[in-house]
Amino acid sequence: MATAAADSLQQTVAALNALYNSPSSSAKKEANLWLENFQAKPEAWQTAVILLTNENVGKEAQVFGAQTMRRKIVDDFQDLDAAHRASLRDSLLSLSMQHKSSPKIIRTQLCLALAALSLRMLEWEQPVNHMINLYGSSTADLSYLLEFLTVLPEEVNDSRCPSLTDDEYRTRSDGLLTQNANQILKMLVVYMENSGGDAQLQEAVFRCFLSWLRSGDIATSSLSNNPLLAFSFKALQMPELFDIAVDVVCELIFQTKDIEESMPVIQEIYPNLLPLRQQIAQSMEDENEESVRGYCKIFVEAGECYLSLVVRHTDHFRGIVEGIAECTSYHDLDIVPMTFRFWYQLAEELRKNEEARMRYQDVYENLVDVMIKHLHYPADLESWSAKERDDFKDFRHVMGDVLKDCCLILGSRIPLGKAYMLITQAASMTPAKWQEVEAPLMALRSMGAQVEPEENEVLPEIMKLLSQLPEHPKIKYAATLVIARYGAWTDKHPEFIQYQLQFISSGFENEEVVAASALAMKLLCKECSIHLLNYLNELHSFFVGVTKKLKATDLLEVTEAVAHVVAAVPNAELAQVFQMFCLPIAQQLASLASKDQTTLEEDIPHIIDNISQLKIFFETVNPQIAPTEPHPCIPIVQELWPVMDSLADRVGGIDEVARPLAGCWRSILISYRTHYAPLLPVTMARLIKSFEQTGLGQYLWVGSRVVREFGEVNPGPTLQFVESLSVSMWQILQKYAGQFNEIPDVVEDYFNLVSDALLACPREYIHSTLFPTVFNAIMASFSLKEQYSLISVFRHCRIILDQVNDLQQPRSSQSNSPRISGGEAALVKAQFAEHDMFISHLLQGLIYNFPPEVYGDATGLIKALTMFCPQESALWYGKAISSLDLAPAEMQKTVSDFTTAVSERNWSKIKSIVQDFTSVYRRKNVLPRSRGGKN
In 764-809 the beta strands, taken as DSSP E runs, fall at none
Is 737 a residue whose pLDDT tops 80? Answer: no
Instruction: Please give the pLDDT value at position 139.
Output: 82
Mean pLDDT of the 659-681 span: 95
Omega of the bond leading into 431 within 30 degrees of 0 (cis): yes
Instruction: Please give the pLDDT value at position 517.
Output: 97
Is 929 a residue whose pLDDT tops 50? Answer: no
Give the CA angle between residues 900, 905, 910 to the nearest 5°: 65
Mean pLDDT of the 123-128 span: 94
Is 5 a residue whose pLDDT tops 90? Answer: no
User: Residue type at 649?
Assistant: D
Q: Cα–Cα distance between 377 and 88 in angstroms, integer?
A: 63
% of the chain residues with pLDDT over 70: 97
Give the CA angle between residues 62, 67, 68 to the nearest 5°: 95
Q: Cα–Cα distance between 441 and 476 in angstroms, integer?
A: 10
Is 843 a residue whose pLDDT tops 70? Answer: yes
Mean pLDDT of the 125-144 span: 90
User: Residue type at 78?
Assistant: Q
Is 931 a residue whose pLDDT tops 50? Answer: no
Q: Cα–Cα distance between 190 and 124 in angstroms, integer?
A: 27
Instruction: Please give the pLDDT value at position 403.
Output: 97
Instruction: Please give the pLDDT value at position 308.
Output: 96
Q: Cα–Cα distance between 879 and 874 in angstroms, integer?
A: 9
Using DSSP, state whether 767 is helix, strand or coil. helix
What pLDDT, in 10s, does the model give residues 9-37? Answer: 889 989 999 889 888 989 999 999 999 88
| Helix (H), strand (E) counts: the chain | 50, 0
Contact indicator for 244, 207 with CB cutoff of 8 Å: yes
Quickly list DSSP for 744-769.
Answer: HHHHHHHHHHHHHHHHHSHHHHHHST
Most confident of 54-68, 157-171, 565-579: 565-579
Contact indicator for 790, 746 with CB cutoff of 8 Å: no
Across the chain, what does the average pLDDT equal? 92
Window from 339-343, 502-506, 593-597, 799-803 with minimum mean pLDDT: 593-597
% of the chain residues with pLDDT over 90: 82
Window from 295-304, 342-351, 540-549 with minimum mean pLDDT: 540-549
Instruction: Please give the pLDDT value at position 821.
Output: 85
Instruction: Please give the pLDDT value at position 922.
Output: 84
Contact indicator for 604, 651 with CB cutoff of 8 Å: yes
Is 1 a residue whose pLDDT tops 50? Answer: no
Q: 3 pLDDT band (50/70/90 cuts)?
A: low
Is 879 a residue whose pLDDT tops 60? Answer: yes
Give the CA angle between residues 379, 380, 383 to the nearest 5°: 160
Is 934 a residue whose pLDDT tops 70? Answer: no
Contact indicator for 723, 775 with CB cutoff of 8 Å: no
Window from 419-423, 529-533, 596-600, 613-617 with minimum mean pLDDT: 596-600
Contact indicator for 269, 230 with CB cutoff of 8 Å: no
Which tops the pLDDT comparison, 813 or 157?
Answer: 157
Mean pLDDT of the 228-232 span: 95
Q: What is the CA radius of gyration of the chain?
A: 35
Q: Cα–Cα distance between 661 and 658 in angstroms, integer?
A: 5
Distance of CA 365 to the CA centre of its chain: 35
Q: Cα–Cα distance between 588 and 524 in angstroms, integer?
A: 27
What pLDDT, in 10s, does the model give residues 781-834? Answer: 999 999 999 999 999 999 999 999 888 776 554 445 567 888 899 999 999 999
What contacts 107, CB < 8 A, 6 or more positions away? 99, 100, 144, 147
Please tell me what DSSP assigns to residue 377.
P
What pLDDT, in 10s, does the model give residues 250-275? Answer: 999 999 999 999 999 999 999 999 99
Is 285 a residue whose pLDDT tops 80? Answer: yes
Distance of CA 71 to the CA centre of its chain: 30
Instruction: Please give the pLDDT value at position 817.
Output: 55
Torsion of CA 639, 642, 645, 649, to 10 degrees: -150
Is 933 a residue whose pLDDT tops 80? Answer: no
Contact indicator for 571, 623 with CB cutoff of 8 Å: yes
Instruction: Please give the pLDDT value at position 2.
Output: 57
What pLDDT, in 10s, does the model give residues 555-595? Answer: 999 999 999 999 999 999 999 999 999 999 999 999 998 88
Sign, CA torsion 506/508/514/518: positive
Is 930 a residue whose pLDDT tops 70? Answer: no
Which tops the pLDDT comparison, 600 or 127?
Answer: 127
Mean pLDDT of the 683-691 span: 97
Instruction: Please give the pLDDT value at position 935.
Output: 33
Mean pLDDT of the 604-620 span: 96
| Number of C-beta neighbours around residue 336 at 10 A | 21
Instruction: Please give the pLDDT value at position 771.
Output: 95
Please tell me what DSSP assigns to residue 448.
G
Nearest residue to 416 via CA among 453, 462, 371: 462
Q: Cα–Cα distance between 782 and 784 in angstroms, integer?
A: 5
Contact indicator for 771, 831 with CB cutoff of 8 Å: yes
Nearest residue to 431 via CA among 465, 470, 383, 376: 470
Instruction: Please give the pLDDT value at position 311.
Output: 97
Buried b (16+ CB within 10 A) or exposed e, 578-603: bbbbbebbbebbbebbeeeeeebeeb
Q: 932 pLDDT band (50/70/90 cuts)?
A: very low
Is 58 a residue whose pLDDT tops 80? Answer: yes
Instruction: Please give the pLDDT value at position 132.
Output: 94
Instruction: Please give the pLDDT value at position 382.
Output: 87
Instruction: Please give the pLDDT value at position 468.
Output: 95
Contact indicator for 302, 256 with CB cutoff of 8 Å: no
Instruction: Please give the pLDDT value at position 738.
Output: 67
Instruction: Please give the pLDDT value at position 626.
Output: 93
Mean pLDDT of the 603-615 span: 95
Window from 298-302, 365-369, 710-714 with minimum mean pLDDT: 710-714
Is 327 a residue whose pLDDT tops 90? Answer: yes
Q: Cα–Cα distance between 89 and 96 in angstroms, integer?
A: 10
What pLDDT, in 10s, does the model give residues 214-223? Answer: 999 999 889 9
